[in-house]
Amino acid sequence: MKVPLRVPEVLPGDRPASGPFCPWFHVQAASSEATNRTARRFPAGQRDYFPNGCHRAYDVPMSNSTNAHPRLSSRLAALSLLTIALVFGASAAPATAAAPQRWSHFQSSADYVALGDSFTSGQGAPPYLSGPCLQSKYASYPIITATLSTYKLVANESCSGANTGAVIAQLGQLPDRLKRPGSPVRLVTLTVGGIDAGSNQVVTACTPDPTSATCQAAIVFAGGQLSSPSLGFSLAATYLAVADAMPNAKIVVFTYPHLFNDNVSQLGNAVNSATDTLNTTIKGAAAGVVGVGKNIQVVDVTQEFANHGIGASIPYISFDPSNVTAQANFHPNALGNALGYFRALLNDRVLG
C-alpha cells in the first residue's frame, strides 16, 4: 500500500544529542486517511537536510514498489536548502542573498509562463522588482519553480490586483513567439479570481475594524460576487483563452490558501469560508474547460498551507500586526511560496 507523504515540513528547532543547534527539515509520513495526495516514494535512509552540516538519518515508510524517484528527491533536497536560505538569509544577510535565483542544477529544457494576480507575483515576499505589479525579486513561486525544476521562466506577467480581465490583457503582452500553434511554452501557472470575488474590498474595509458596518458591507458584497454565476463564466473564459494562446502547455490553475488558522478570529473564519467557496468555483470552471479538451490541471494548495495561516507559529502568510496596511500582508510569504505553492506542484507531480 502506498503511504502518502507531506514534504518537507519546516519545524522549529531540534538539538541533536551532540553538535550544534539545528533547525531541521524532514519528510514526514502521513496516514492514508490524512491525505489523498499521490504517494511519494523515497529510499530508506534518506537524510534530513540541515545547515552547517547537521544531519539525521531516518527511514521513510515506502510503498510496495522499491523504485526511487531521484529527480523528486533531488528537488526536495534543493527545496530544503532553498528554504534554509529563505528562513535565515532574510535576517542574516542582505536581501540579495535571501533566495538566489541561480541555485538550480537542473537543465532548463522547457519554457514556462506565469500569469495572474498578487499570489503569483509574490506580493507577500518583498523586496519587489521595479514597477507597479509588486513582483517579488527573489521569492515568488514562479522564481522558485524555475530555480528548482527543468522549466525556464520566459515570461512573468503576473500583477498585483489582476482580475480575469487583466489576465486576458496579460496574454496580449506576451511575445508572439510564445503564443498560438507553434508555442514552445510547456507550462503555465495561474492564480486568478480573488479580485473578481471582492477580496480587495474586504481587506481594505475590514483590516482597520472587523466589526465595522463598512466591513460587513464588504463581506456582503463579496458573498454576492461568489454566488454569482458570472464569476464561474469569467474564470472559464480566462482558462480557455490561456489554453488557446499556448496550446502545447499544461495550464496549472492554483486554488487559494486559507489566510488564517482556524478560529484565530471571526473575520478569519469568514475569510477562510469564502476562500473555500471561491476554490469550489475555480475547480468547477476548470472542469468545464477540461471537458472541451483543454489541458488544464487544478492544483489545490490548501493542504500544503494547512496550519500555517495567520496565527500559526510558523506562518506561510505575511502579516505585520504593527503595520496592518503593509503591502505584503495577507499574501503568501517566501516560505508559503516554497513550501506551499512549489511543494504543491511537486506533490501533484506537475513537474515530472
User: Which of the residues are catalytic?
Assistant: 118, 331
Amino acid found at 166: A
DSSP state, 108? P
Tell me which residue has cell 483590516. 207
**Cα gap 181→177, rounded to integer Å:** 10
How would you class 321 by CB atoms within 10 Å of its CB: exposed for 0-12, middle for 13-18, buried for 19 or more? Answer: exposed
State residue 190 phi and psi, 5-degree precision.
-155, 135
Residue pointed to by grid coordinates 502506498: 2
Positions of E strands within the chain: 5-10, 25-29, 110-116, 151-156, 185-191, 250-254, 296-299
Q: What are φ and ψ of residue 290, in 5° steps?
A: -60, -35
Phi first, then psi: what are they for 338, rounded to 5°? -80, -50
Q: Is 282 left (phi over 0), alpha (psi -120 to 50) or beta?
A: alpha
String of b and e for 2-41 (b: at least 16 CB within 10 Å)?
eebbbbbbbeeeeeeeeeeebbbbbbebbeeeeeebebbb
